Structure 1
């Protein structure tokens, strides 16, 4: 594996006053390498009465033997071999030697030791940092499989326990004993993850404490940011501008939104959560470093992640877009606890602000689309009556739309809470028995959906006036309200609107059906005497039969082209007509048919009581567009969204 080119700290010639120069090197405010904000990590170790110059010289000698052995510019073995992979016990000894060297350098500075010793110690320190930089990079690179956010995130609880166990006793770090102490409950992947994370933390602590935090952070940020960016890209999270979103047609925007929805949960709960967990562990010694590091790695990608819904919300509108927006709103809301936890640092609070902004824009857009939809119902200008009094395409599309909205009742409840009451719309409060303004369901969602249906019913009432035949206009209203009730009872709308709503709607349907029956068959009923009289003259009987035949023929002819799409509703209507008409006709027929026997005018008696019922079975089956074809025609564009 090619080794990353790591920034090196050049060994400059010391000034004429070496003690002052070394004092500046160990002063956090003057160090050129350490990050000033991390200076608190570079403090002098506590002095000890037992410390002596010979002891410090011995520490330097031991450190020199270990550090030069692993000098990256030394032997081929040291150049191409990983210390932590080759011998973790020796790696621990190496870090301890660096700590001892640091203590010795502090002592030499405080005791104003010779410049030669200070130069020697400083050179060894830089040599050791170059080795640790290389080890840090190699561990990050070689263990990507075990340090990928998915692995870290999914095993975070197990890894946390294991890491906690390893930190209890530093002496166990030198081998796998710290993992074995945890038991056999963790997998090989978890074991390797724990070891890699422990090694990274050990190196990071050492480099930061010696003033080389900048080099350590630079390597970490470069590698881990590329992993986050690549992870987001693989999840389909791309960076879009407002103009790019606006240029997308509905199909393309839907596809991109679905891709975002499929990726957001993994992006937050796995990718970003895992990255935060890893960063917190590796740089556990300093909250300031953890915050700066995670911000540089994740801030841009996370901001872009949560900005996409806002761009969608602000793009051009069409009715079915409301479902996309609610899906986006729900996804962000569901992940809000994780978002707050992951981006708890003040420096990355803008990510949470972006998520909140997207929720706000999504809410505004959903409310606007609902208002637009209500307005579109009111503005529907079609004046062509639906053939046969069938279901109007507007009824089908509105009920499909509203029933789909009902499936989002939880999201809608959050979105429309506190929004303007629909009672402010200019509709007649007394038009419909239920829901009237005072009888609407109490929840905000129920009120809003009930109101949309009321807007539809008012529009249907005006469209009924386009029929020249009053009976057909009532049949049209009965058909459409029956369809509304059936759709409500078959979907989650029933739970939202309640039993009282459906009962009162059914009452209205029956009223319209009765009005249709009265208007369509009153003339036929009037052709028969209210009470049959046996002493009726033949001419009078002939007149009644003649009038009945003409009236029935006219009603039959017209109503054969009318339609009731719902089979049960159609049978109920025909049964009601038959139960009223056939018994009256049968009584008249049986009483007076003998008068016409042998008379040529017997042909006036076209219908027997039995075949009268057969003729009635043919009505309301008309040639008008049936519910199924109306549905496919009116909802073809919205078929992906509306059931």
Structure 2
């Protein structure tokens, strides 16, 4: 029968909402309506005074316990009383009844205000952001259904609740109670009181959550004075906090806010803005402080990219959670931080390139091994390739300011289309090219040309290996790899040609039909011995760190030397018998040559199985290998 009181055609006051009349039944006659209103006033008086806070009620909570009958009766009476007040104003009834109804309404709203506070304060743990966000799907399904509606949905709600744990049941019940009270207070014109309590309690919870996550408001001038080690710790803390804050704290708070104040999107927006704006601005403002740090250097690049990655990854959630126009400044702050981080990253990439170009060429690397600059640059570029997603955005509209006369095809992207990876491919290929050009100048420090080629082969092999075994393989592509592998093999071939030319030319080009005199054979053996021993001694300190390249070079040398020397050895070794006290003409068997080659490229004058630090040791060792 309470639908009878929803028939007023005048605007309700002080509520913001109007109550439509029921189209399915005719209104009772005026005497009957007045009688029913008076009866509802008496019912409201009985229950409201029972729970009157100012009247000294000792009852703790209207919504405590499992019995909801009293709470349902209280809310129904509040709804009926609001309709009665509308009737009195529309019919011009006596001011005495209207004043009485208003006084009863104030008693009811004070009680609901206290209940609202009690539910919020006693359920801080049950209404934490993580719990709310994890159960958002269930809440959204029931957001339009209250436990106090009498349309038969109570049974469905109870069935759904039976499948939940005790903590989940308490949480869902608290959310349902909060929504019901908020609906009642807002419809009765007491929305401000409801919002005030909600904002105070929930903002303290959000601020406390962010505090324990390590989110703090920092002064820009003080930030500039911090050591990078301190800032790096704060960055790690922020990265952890960012995920939880966005996916749990703010997301859960938005879900709770939208659920409790589903009766008014305007109120929901204002509450969420009041609760979350300050903390969100602090959270999303931190990366901008880091990006503006004056002591940034290329080594700090990866923390900048971590921050950039985090904002990019969570941007869809940020945009969704903070979609209200009233908190557009939060979205703007996140975008500003992203832009500033991109600017800082581009500056550091430029500084990194400049540092490669300005690396001072000091003494050459011992033994022609991998240069420290090569290791540093390639490790750096490999790490950059792990951030290809972020870097693609950062360098997309940042063309190379290349003044080099080198052909563009040398450092262009392996892709021929305009795919998003083109910019980052070009950028990283260019950094590698800058390194290779610098290595060319460092190779000139070696007085021995063959050693300079071995240096280039070692370093380019290191570069190629790093590309092949990292994300750079995907960024630079197979064409880049094939081109530079071929270049590395050419360097190795040049080393063999320049380093072992004297040994190779000392061997005769044997012809089965040609006759070689003993004197000429003796000269050939002596020339070979001298050239081989000189070359071997010189190269015992040379190094090839990569086992695969080391084996390839030794195998290639063996193929050039051993077969030719072996044939010459087999044909002429019987001509020369070592006399007592004479120097041996035939010092090495073919197997000896292979053994000596296998000892090369371990560096520091040592070999895998022997130590040949002087010419006398080599000669002594060779004399022990008697002609068989």
TM-score (norm 1): 0.83
Indicate the SS of the match to 2:125.
Answer: helix
- Structure 1 position 360, deviation (Å): 1.4
| 1:301 to 1:624, Cα distance in 2 relative to 1, 3 A | farther
CA RMSD of aligned residues (A): 2.9
- Find the aligned partners of 1:158 and 1:111 in 2 and give their Cα distance: 44
- Find the aligned partners of 1:190 and 1:201 in 2 and give their Cα distance: 17
TM-score (norm 2): 0.85
Alignment of 1:214-613 (within 5 A): 214-315=192-293, 316-420=295-399, 422=400, 424-430=401-407, 435-437=410-412, 443-531=422-510, 534-536=515-517, 538=519, 540-597=520-577, 599=579, 601-613=582-594
| 1:440 to 1:389, Cα distance in 2 relative to 1, 3 A | farther
Cα deviation, 1:27-48, whole Å, max 9, x if unaligned, reads: 65xxxxxxxxxx634x688796
Residue 156 in 1 paired to residue 136 in 2? Answer: yes
- Structure 1 position 322, deviation (Å): 2.3
**Is 1:441–1:497's contact at 8 Å kept on the other side of the alignment?**
no
- Find the aligned partners of 2:517 and 2:582 in 1 and give their Cα distance: 16
**Is 2:109–2:185's contact at 8 Å kept on the other side of the alignment?**
yes
- Find the aligned partners of 1:252 and 1:598 in 2 and give their Cα distance: 76
| Between 231-240 and 209-218, the greater mean CA deviation after superposition | 231-240
**Larger RCO, structures 1/2 (Cα 8 Å, 6+ apart):** 1
Cα deviation, 1:406-438, whole Å, max 9, x if unaligned, reads: 222222222222221x3x32334259xx74448
Cα deviation, 1:83-103, whole Å, max 9, x if unaligned, reads: 111552211211222233333
Query: Of 73, 76, 85, which aligns to 1:96?
Result: 76
- Structure 1 position 110, deviation (Å): 4.8
**What is the match of residue 129 of structure 1?**
109
**Is 1:268–1:339's contact at 8 Å kept on the other side of the alignment?**
yes
| 1:337 to 1:415, Cα distance in 2 relative to 1, 3 A | same
- Find the aligned partners of 1:255 and 1:458 in 2 and give their Cα distance: 37
| 1:197 to 1:438, Cα distance in 2 relative to 1, 3 A | closer
**Is 1:137–1:220's contact at 8 Å kept on the other side of the alignment?**
yes
- Structure 1 position 554, deviation (Å): 1.8
Query: Of 53, 58, 64, which aligns to 1:72?
Result: 53
| 1:603 to 1:354, Cα distance in 2 relative to 1, 3 A | same
| Between 438-447 and 149-158, the greater mean CA deviation after superposition | 438-447
| Between 369-378 and 467-476, the greater mean CA deviation after superposition | 369-378
Cα deviation, 1:450-473, whole Å, max 9, x if unaligned, reads: 111111111111110011111100
**What is the match of residue 629 of structure 1?**
none
Cα deviation, 1:133-162, whole Å, max 9, x if unaligned, reads: 101100111222322221111111112223
**Is 1:166–1:178's contact at 8 Å kept on the other side of the alignment?**
no
Cα deviation, 1:356-412, whole Å, max 9, x if unaligned, reads: 112212222222222222221111113221100000111111111112222222222
- Find the aligned partners of 2:284 and 2:234 in 1 and give their Cα distance: 14
**What is the match of residue 623 of structure 2?**
none
- List runs of 5+ in structure 1 lacking aligned partners: 1-25, 29-38, 627-643
| 1:379 to 1:598, Cα distance in 2 relative to 1, 3 A | closer
| 1:84 to 1:171, Cα distance in 2 relative to 1, 3 A | farther
Alignment of 1:596-635 (within 5 A): 596-597=576-577, 599=579, 601-623=582-604
| 1:568 to 1:152, Cα distance in 2 relative to 1, 3 A | same
